[in-house]
Structure 1
């Protein structure tokens, strides 16, 4: 019997058949693995493709130099840039050459992801690169050769002391003056200095916001990569950046106020926080961090509300928004307040770079929460009513007919109303305020788009932003847009560097742009 088996397996036909079967099985296994990897890659924003790609693009947004710092060692520079979400897995450092009077010094800047989450639903994310450079440096440049490099445009952080700074997520196609004027008045009243990043806004509203002594407005351009690039020719990285590159904007704001602010809060413009633990934001946040002494960041959750306002400037009242609040009984993602020396970067709902020894804590909604001004109604009757302002609704986030406290203190409400009226009655502000539009052009379109791509929770694993909204042009509409210039350096090893070198506002009459 054994002899017969040997004869069978020694036969050439059976050997060829055996080899053929093995080859076929190997081929099927290989195809299955490749198909599985392809499906995985497609479902996870092509992270495998980006990881094995030979070359990459980065877009440098800012470089902040700290001569002395509460957060970093002396003479530290921090580069904020965008790139693919696996960039930090491919490169641990960026090579910076510091030119000094004694010669050139190479410094390895350590790369840190701002959003340390893989896979993330957007292909492009922000990063920091941090390094300590010689104090006597003349200039810094990104370079991997001794001939040239991309010179970094250095800036210093703000030095004017601020108790509380509010860094708002970037604004685009912005025309909802009823919201923004209320936000500015309320945050200003409770002691916040406000920093707005703007991509586009109707010009009259822009002028009103800019004139407020407690605001600073910075242009926030869409990013561009040059013709010399690693990405395909038609690829637009803005379509793969989360909501106007908001994590970059918020981190940029944090880096600028790191040395001057005691607390920094990161809301959207439709998130209103009224202090409960104190009379103003500084007292509120001081008490909050006393409640959570190990906190680097504290999350204040959002409670969903509907509000009423007027389309006519003469009938508008900022505090009437709060007086008209109706709570929906729904809580949503929280927004952060940080001690800037304890945090190095920020995302809208979380910080991934809280320093060792600190953590992120959550403020109970029962204690305090942001009012998310989510649902807007514009009745025909006037909303300015002193008796209405003097009888604010109760804070009722769970829709349980709570009567413990009102949504604001009456004396605060009357002061906010009076300051606002005085402000829009001064000089040329009166004429500008009267010109504010009664009809919204962009907001209804954006609302429909965001309900589709974001609030409906459909396609939650895909990148979402205004670039996916079909917004028509409105010739004749006066808008303030952003103009910017980028340059490209292509001699860094395996990396094309694109740097923002200038950005400014420009007025036009052909509508707002993304």
Structure 2
């Protein structure tokens, strides 16, 4: 979000909010779909939930909410995993990726799936405005969090081996049949010429993710977990990271026409219309 009139053309209010206003974006999603969705899941793109006692997400969530109709949300713990990277998209396979997946002991703070009829706002992980005793905690299923993409090439010759849930010796994380289905779906998408052409242009190494990770570590994880500083002293926000401009690829920004309403007290409203992509700004942090 920007403003119609600012001192600089790139003034960004997201710099001054926690985690780039992720809680605000999630609350906006919740309110947009409140009357049409049965469930809203507040997951990151690297969070994966594999239902263990159900065949799909709808069945998984319905079973829990039907058993506890007065509960407003379901909460899954999160388990960190590491995977090997792949340089060539033509070699990608869910079966191979899961064969080399390392399930780590480290756990992260979990995420919620909510009943939108009982939820009006949220934080990143759950709401602080609703009673915690009406949040159903699930202990037999975990979200797997792709925390580390190891800087080694995916071993294409490794024997097939289903990963186990952490702490078990025979409880598989996912079924082989499901991996085959995922690979068939991927190959179907990859068969589309436009999809394939775009995929082949993708770079084969991480450029910004280590920079952002180090920035997060310096601005939040180190001060909060090691130095024990509170949120009054720190403001975790990747928009304050120094992101160098690449020579070969410019950052592409989601852009729009920005409108500022008349100045009012205590709030002045700003909004955006006619969204578009902007390719000429680059990384301006």
Q: TM-score, normalised by structure 2?
A: 0.85
1:44-443 to 2 correspondences below 5 Å: 222-224=1-3, 226=5, 237-354=13-130, 359-364=134-139, 367-383=140-156, 387-388=159-160, 391-396=161-166, 400=167, 402-443=168-209
Distance 2:221 2:100 in 1: 23
After superposition, give the CA deviation of every residue in 1:248-302 in whole Å (9 maximum; x if it has no partner). Answer: 1101111111121111111111111001120110111112223433210111111
Distance 1:343 1:240 in 2: 26
Alignment length, in residue pairs? 277
After superposition, give the CA deviation of every residue in 1:132-184 in whole Å (9 maximum; x if it has no partner). Answer: xxxxxxxxxxxxxxxxxxxxxxxxxxxxxxxxxxxxxxxxxxxxxxxxxxxxx
Q: 1:503 to 1:443 in 2, by over 3 A?
A: farther
Q: 1:383 to 1:339 in 2, by over 3 A?
A: farther
Which secondary structure does the structure 2 equivalent of 1:261 belong to? Answer: coil
**Contact 1:490 / 1:496 at 8 angstroms: preserved in 2?**
no
Q: 1:333 to 1:433 in 2, by over 3 A?
A: same
Cα offset for 1:507?
4.8
Distance 1:481 1:346 in 2: 26
Cα offset for 1:382?
4.1
| Correspondence 1:453 to 2:208 | no
RCO higher in structure (CA 8 A, sep ≥6):
2
After superposition, give the CA deviation of every residue in 1:343-402 in whole Å (9 maximum; x if it has no partner). Answer: 111212111344x898223212xx1111011122132354486x52xx311111xxx3x1
Distance 1:509 1:499 in 2: 24
Runs of 4+ in 1 over 6 A off after TM superposition: none
Distance 1:444 1:357 in 2: 35
Which secondary structure does the structure 2 equivalent of 1:413 belong to? Answer: helix
Q: Point out where structure 2 has 5 or more consecutive residues left out of the alignment.
A: none
Q: TM-score, normalised by structure 1?
A: 0.49
Q: Point out where structure 1 has 5 or more consecutive residues left out of the alignment.
A: 1-221, 229-234
